[in-house]
Amino acid sequence: MTIKPYPLHFKPEFKERVWGGRALEQFGYDVPEGHIGEGWVIADHENGVSHVLNGELAGQGLDEIREKLGAEWFGSAGSRSGNGRFPLLIKLLDCNDDLSVQVHPTDTYERLPKGELGKTEMWYVLDAKPGAKIIYGLQPGVTRDSFAAAIADNRIMDTLQEVPVQAGDTFYIPAGTVHALCAGVLVAEIQQNSDTTYRLYDYDRPGLDGKPRELHVEDSLNVTAYEGAGATRMKTDGAKPNEWLTLAESPYFVTAKGVVSGSWSQETSPASFDILIVAEGAGAIGWGSESIAAKAGDCFLLPATLGAYSLDGSFTVLRSRVPADN
């Protein structure tokens, strides 16, 4: 049976985290009880799968859709990944407390868990409380030896760079970049489809089970890019209406910001699906004679075979694609 392509709207898979809160409720989601830190809004991973809310595929997981339609719907580049699953993982993160100081490996790290990929990612700050900050990279001159010594002496915070953040800030975080989100930020995260994180420091706090969370110091020291991995950050308040502003380019995703004003014609590429995350405002996505409402916190997967579509209304959107030469 042939299914006509249409924008897939997903229900997140929610994750309780020791640092989470209740901020994801503002998007109208039925958030479960507890300290909910992550909503995996587009996910095809053994640790979480998101499910479609609308249309003919309603109720089906992204893993099922990938098996049935991935080669056709995801595009020539978007249907390829290092582990056979959907290539990207899209999250909303509610940082009610500081996250652990952490680093992610590359695809080539020899101690990756079986079936896992490395993890290059980016953040777009949806909201930030006054004085909010993040940890983003090492201080200049930090080496493996000095980093290891600081960790052993409980001086790791002296080696890290802290950066103030505001809504609209973007951070590109290639694998090997030491980083941590801190309390008071709400973030959209676009990343490789990986759940591999190496923790360096967790503030000596108990986890949800009352026990300290595991640290991975040796792996972290092994994968850290001491000379830098190409991390970049930018303010995005200069984005012009109905023009794409590129936020991050990597071998795994290219993400741009658009400020929709009125009606803006778009088209998917045969190489890749489009992922749209609505950052603020409201409007609709139209295709053919149909449309679907879009509001802040919504996330859509538009098949590569969809073709022409429109963004209508007054809202800010993030668009992510897999580069054609992936």
Integer Cα distance of 194 and 173 in angstroms: 14
Q: Which CATH class is domain 245-321?
A: mainly beta
Q: What are the extents of the domains in the chain?
A: 10-234, 245-321
Q: Under 8 Å CB-to-CB from 153, ≥6 apart: which residues?
A: none
Q: Tell me the DSSP string of 275-309.
A: EEEEEEEEEEEEETTEEEEEETT-EEEE-TT--EE
**Chain segment 61-90, per-residue pLDDT in tens:** 999 999 999 989 999 999 988 889 999 999
Q: Report the pLDDT value the prediction gives residue 12, as an integer from 0 to 100.
A: 95
Distant-in-sequence, close-in-space partners of 30: CB < 8 Å, separation ≥ 6? none
Return all residues near 289 (Cβ < 8 A) that are at least 6 apart.
none
HEC profile for 41-94? EECEECCEECEECCHHHCCCEHHHHHHHHHHHHCCCCCCCCCCCCCCEEEEEEE
The 3-state DSSP class for residue 188 equals strand
Query: pTM (2 decimals)?
Result: 0.97
Q: Give SS3 for 312.
A: strand
Count of other CB atoms within 10 angstroms of residue 11: 17
Q: What is the dihedral of CA 260, 265, 271, 273, to 10 degrees?
A: 50
CATH number, domain 10-234: 2.60.120.10
Determine the 3-state secondary structure of 227 from DSSP.
Answer: coil
- Give the mean pLDDT of the chain: 96
Low-confidence ranges of the chain (pLDDT < 50): none
Q: How far apart are CA 301 and CA 288, in angstroms?
A: 16
Which residues does the annotation mark as catalytic?
199
Residue 87 — left, alpha, or beta (φ > 0 → left; ψ -120 to 50 → alpha)?
Answer: alpha
121 is in an annotated binding site: yes
For 230-280, the pLDDT digits (tens) are 999 999 998 999 999 999 999 999 999 999 999 999 999 999 999 999 999
Q: Let me know if the fold of 10-234 is the same as that of 245-321.
A: yes
Residue the block writes with tokens 């090492």? 138
The confidence score (pLDDT) of residue 326 equals 57
